[in-house]
Amino acid sequence: MTESHAAIQGDDALTEADRLGLYRVLLSRRDVRGQFLPDPIADAVLARILVAAHHAPSVGFMQPWSFILVRSPEVRTRIKQAFTQANDEAAALFKGDSQATYRSLKLEGILESPVNICVTCDRDRAGPVVLGRTHIPTMDLYSTVCAVENLWLAARAEGLGLGWVSIISEPALKDILGLPDNVAWARSAISSPSRNWKPKAGANAWI
């Protein structure tokens, strides 16, 4: 942990400003898919939000997640193609006006953002027996979602936008990123941090 991480962690007591700041982050976090700047994100900032994600709770403390940073334009182009295919399949399920509405939505920022983050869940990371997961095996997936939420909130605190893209077939994403077989569940959470974003409550309330 770096000095700046230690400074953020601080002691147990929150100041009034910290308390209000936490609520502000929680209430102003949005799923961001546009208004991206192509500028690179400083490694120190990326490291801070990833450290925040790694501090998520996990069943049996198994920490099943990994974070794959995807900067390569070629790889992101292949991911965008996988999105387009999945999105066309999804659009076809809507009829009439709803299909036109669906097709008008901006549901990803894969190429516009400077970096995508794929979050994976290694279901075998802690072996077959994990404290707390015996009767509900999906608890490792829930743990990974906790890490994504931490990532999302930390990105908001850093003034970065981040959107969750789930409109991708998991086998396609695994193939593109060359994920190993023991990663039983490749979370298709390609996230797109950005700058230049003004949080607006309800801005994405289309569902």
Ligand X SMILES: Cc1cc2nc3c(=O)[nH]c(=O)nc-3n(C[C@H](O)[C@H](O)[C@H](O)COP(=O)(O)O)c2cc1C
Q: By CB under 6 A, name the binding residues for ligand X.
A: 30-31, 33, 107-108, 163-167, 204, 207
Q: How far is the CB of 151 from ligand X (least distance, A)?
A: 12
Count of Cβ atoms closer than 10 Å to residue 34 Cβ? 15
Q: How far is the CB of 4 from ligand X (least distance, A)?
A: 27
Q: What is the CA radius of gyration of the chain?
A: 18
Count of residues in the chain: 207
Q: How far is the CB of 199 from ligand X (least distance, A)?
A: 8
Please say which residue, 5 or 102, places its beta carbon nearer to ligand X.
Answer: 102
Residues 6 or more apart whose CB falls under 8 angstroms from that of 157 comprise: 21, 25
CA dist 83 and 174 (Å) reads 13
Kindly state the tokens that stand for 164.
């969750």
Please say which residue, 17 or 207, places its beta carbon nearer to ligand X.
Answer: 207
Please say which residue, 91 or 107, places its beta carbon nearer to ligand X.
Answer: 107
Please say which residue, 114 or 199, places its beta carbon nearer to ligand X.
Answer: 199
Q: How far is the CB of 106 from ligand X (least distance, A)?
A: 7
CA distances from 170 to 16, 67, 161, 186 (A): 43, 16, 23, 6
